[in-house]
A and B are shown apart, each in its own frame.
Chain A
């Protein structure tokens, strides 16, 4: 989301407008989406908090859970978003700058409200793959590596009270070549809370693979749905046929 509209980029760059927030929210609700995540991608780099007005409008419209991410830096910021009707808040860059924020949010609202988004880049320099956490990924000019190891960060945020982790694999984001199964499997091995795969969905089989191979609890997709390449009812029928439990 940027300036009241839904945008989508490729590898976190070159975002283009794909539609109006409320229209898309209603479309995905009716198509059978199980949850929606709203990323205010300009909130953290621009140093501002996600605006509250659209959260209440979305909450009025949706009868499925939704999560709001973007520039939530304090218990007060989270309270405003949750009070407006969101189920969960997701913190990313602000948690990297102030890891104790996770503890404070979890203590105040319970772990189930606190999602930590992790933007992770694969480092191809060594023999074994290593993964590095990136911050401020909403703005290509400000995005940078944090020197934090992704798997260590996933362990730390759980210890601090994260109730869910969304792992955005940056090198596969928006290119529709499949989820990063190796990285997600490595994350699964250290993640006891719900793990949501993000980045790379292109065809139906990618969803099957990430559930069956990496054992994630959920799969997040944007491009293929925004572009209409995959329709949610079709995806759910396919997954059910593959023996994966999904809400019809």
Chain B
């Protein structure tokens, strides 16, 4: 099997994503080479950092045009998921525009610290192969200050002072707001489900 392409966008969590894939027996290639990304059976867009920075880096390597044209399964993780949408309020940044909607800042409130950092429960919204073996109430690990409201493409939500999109799918594009690479057995299952897509 050829390697999963992890888009190297200068963010933080690429190593942990690669290690998570290795634990599943999948080979991973860290790259921003358009040709290798186009040829990979699966593409992961990770993301730690700020939206504006991340979009600038994607634009520099021409990936802002390449990614929306990919036809294999693509998974955006955390900021990588938010980049799939039209825009982010973080730095008023236009994003890849594959999904409709814009990430907005989570409002802080008493008893609800922002960033949302920690384990929280998944609420399935509609059937999806990404949810195979994952039950309502399973915990995943979240670290984010911005979020997407649930929409027509949402597969699962999470509640943190209000619901937000935890898993999204539209065609071959998928995204998770949490960090599957750090979500223990639930995260490993999500990644395995993603790798099973399109095969």
- In the complex, B188 has a CB within 8 A of chain A: yes
**Shortest Cβ gap from B28 to chain A (Å):** 12
Flag if B115 contacts A63 (CB, 8 Å).
no
Interface segment out of the listed A40-48, A83-91, A137-145, A147-155: A83-91
Q: Footprint of A on B, CB under 8 Å?
A: 12-16, 19-20, 22-23, 48-50, 108, 111, 113-115, 117-119, 139, 141, 143-145, 179, 181-185, 187-188
Q: Does A112 contact B182, Cβ atoms closer than 8 Å?
A: no
Contact of A163 among B15, B117, B179 (CB under 8 A): B117
Residues from chain A with a CB closer than 8 A to the CB of B185 are 63
Alpha-carbon gap, A20 to B157, bound state (A): 39
A-B contact sample (8 more), CB < 8 A, given A83-B14, A87-B16, A112-B115: A34-B119, A63-B184, A65-B179, A109-B12, A109-B48, A109-B49, A111-B115, A193-B115
Closest Cβ of chain A to B154, distance in Å, is 22
Nearest B residue to A164 via CB reads: B117
Residues of A within 8 A of B187 (CB): 63
Task: Check: A102 CB closer than 8 A to any chain B CB.
Answer: no
Q: Say whether A85 contacts B16, CB under 8 Å.
A: yes
Find out whether the CB atom of A87 lies under 8 angstroms from the CB atom of B179: yes
Min C-beta distance of B142 to chain A, whole Å: 9
What interface size band does chain A fall in?
A: 20 to 34
Contact B139 A247 (CB under 8 A): yes
Supply 15 A–B pairs (Cβ within 8 Å), ascending by A. A63-B20, A64-B183, A64-B184, A65-B141, A65-B182, A83-B15, A85-B15, A85-B19, A87-B182, A107-B50, A111-B145, A112-B117, A112-B145, A192-B114, A217-B118
Q: What residues of B have a CB within 8 angstroms of the CB of A87 in the complex?
A: 12-13, 16, 143, 179, 182
Distance from B140 Cβ to chain A, minimum over Cβ atoms (Å): 9
Q: Which residue of B lies closest to A163 (CB)?
A: B115
Q: Does A56 contact B (CB under 8 A)?
A: yes
Complex CA–CA separation, A79 to B23 (angstroms): 24
A190 CB, nearest partner CB in chain B, Å: 12
- Residue contact A59 to B16, C-beta cutoff 8 Å: yes
Measured CA separation A113–B115 after assembly (Å): 10
Q: Give the residue of B14, B118, B179, B184 whose beta carbon is less than 8 angstroms from that of A218.
A: B118
When A87-B143, A193-B114, A247-B119 are in contact, do A113 and B15 touch as well, CB less than 8 Å? no
Please name all residues of chain B whose beta carbon is closer than 8 Å to the beta carbon of A99 when the two chains form the complex: none
Q: How many angstroms between the C-alpha atoms of A218 and B49 in the bound complex?
A: 23
Contacts of B182 in A (CB 8 A): 62-65, 87
Chain B contact residues: helix, strand, loop or mixed: mixed
**CB neighbours of B19 from chain A (8 A):** 59-60, 85
Cα distance, A85 to B108, chains bound together (Å): 28
- Closest partner residue, chain B, to A79 (CB atom): B12
A83 CA to B113 CA in the complex, in Å?
Answer: 26
Q: Cβ of B48 and Cβ of A56 under 8 Å apart? A: no
Q: Does A82 contact B (CB under 8 A)?
A: yes
Query: Is the beta-carbon distance between A83 and B179 smaller than 8 angstroms?
Result: no
What is the CA–CA distance of A108 and B57 in the complex, to the nearest angstrom? Answer: 13
The complex places the Cα of A248 from the Cα of B119 at a distance, in Å, of 11
User: In the bound complex, what is the Cα–Cα distance between A56 and B15 (angstroms)?
Assistant: 8
CA distance A164 to B117 in the complex (A): 8
Interface residue? A195 (CB, 8 A): yes
* Residues from chain B with Cβ under 8 Å of A163 in the complex: 115, 117, 145
* CB within 8 Å of B: which A194-247 residues: 194-195, 215, 217-218, 247
A110 at the interface (CB under 8 A from B): yes
Task: Give CA–CA (A63, B22) in the complex, Å.
Answer: 12
From B50, B111, B114, B184, name the one whose CB has the most chain A CB atoms within 10 angstroms.
B184
Q: Which residues of A contact B50 (CB under 8 A)?
A: 107, 110
* Interface contact A113-B12, CB-CB below 8 Å: yes
Nearest B residue to A63 via CB reads: B184
Q: Which residues of B contact A60 (CB under 8 A)?
A: 19, 22
Q: Is the CB of B15 within 8 A of A112?
A: no
What residue of chain B has the Cβ atom nearest to residue A218's Cβ?
B118
Out of B12, B118, B179, name the residue touching A82 (CB < 8 Å).
B12
Residues of chain B lying within 8 A (CB to CB) of residue A164: 115, 117
**Alpha-carbon gap, A56 to B19, bound state (A):** 9
